[in-house]
C-alpha cells in the first residue's frame, strides 16, 4: 500500500499512531478547524476529536489526482454524531460533508496535508 492508502486506512481504523507515523519528521496537517499547522501527535489528537464524535466515520473517496509528489483527493465524510464534539453532547445527526485533501509526498512520507471543507455545513449538520 502507498502512504495515501495507509493514511485513509488509519483514519478508518481510528489509529492515531499509524496516522502520525506516515508523516515526515517535519510533516504538517491543517484543516479549517486548526488554528495553525499541526505536527507530530497533535495530528493524532486532532483526528481523535473526529473519531470521538463520529465513531462510524468513513471517507468516501470520489477522485484522486496525482502529479510529481502532489496528490489531491476529493471525498465525502459520512458518520453519525453519537459522541461528544469538543465538550458538546452528541446530536445523533447524520453527517455528509464534502471536502478535499491535498497531500505533498516526499520520499514516501507525507510532508503536508491540507484538508478543505465548509465549517458552516459541518456545524449545521452537527446541529450546533
pTM of the model: 0.93
Domain of 54, CATH number, reads: 3.10.450.50
User: Predicted confidence band at 1 (pLDDT cuts at 50, 70, 90)?
Assistant: low
Helix locations, 54-109, DSSP H = none
User: Predicted confidence band at 111 (pLDDT cuts at 50, 70, 90)?
Assistant: very high
The helix (run of H) or strand (run of E) holding residue 52 is helix 41-53
State which residues form the domain around 65.
Answer: 3-125
Rounded CA separation 102/96 (Å):
20
Query: Which residue do the cell numbers 449545521 mark?
Result: 124
Q: Are 40 and 29 in contact (CB under 8 A)?
A: no
CB-CB neighbours of 7 under 10 Å: 22
Q: Provide the number of structural domains found in the chain.
A: 1
Rounded CA separation 84/20 (Å):
23
Rounded CA separation 111/120 (Å):
28
* Tens of pLDDT, residues 30-69: 999 999 999 999 999 999 999 999 999 999 999 999 999 8
Per this entry, what is the length of the chain? 128
Query: Which residue do the cell numbers 453519525 mark?
Result: 80
Is residue 15 over pLDDT 90? Answer: yes
Is residue 126 over pLDDT 80? Answer: yes
* Tens of pLDDT, residues 73-109: 999 999 999 999 888 899 999 999 999 999 999 999 9
Amino acid at each position: 500500500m502507498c502512504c495515501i492508502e495507509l493514511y485513509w486506512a488509519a483514519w478508518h481504523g481510528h489509529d492515531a499512531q499509524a496516522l502520525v507515523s506516515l508523516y515526515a519528521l517535519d510533516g504538517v496537517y491543517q484543516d479549517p478547524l486548526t488554528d495553525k499547522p499541526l505536527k507530530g501527535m497533535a495530528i493524532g489528537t486532532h483526528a481523535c476529536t473526529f473519531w470521538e464524535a463520529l465513531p462510524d466515520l468513513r471517507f468516501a473517496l470520489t477522485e484522486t489526482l496525482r502529479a510529481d509528489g502532489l496528490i489531491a483527493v476529493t471525498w465525502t465524510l459520512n458518520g453519525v454524531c453519537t459522541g461528544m464534539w469538543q465538550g458538546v453532547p452528541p446530536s445523533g445527526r447524520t453527517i455528509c460533508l464534502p471536502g478535499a485533501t491535498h497531500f505533498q509526498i516526499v520520499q514516501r512520507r507525507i510532508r503536508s496535508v491540507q484538508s478543505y471543507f465548509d465549517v458552516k455545513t459541518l456545524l449545521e449538520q452537527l446541529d450546533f
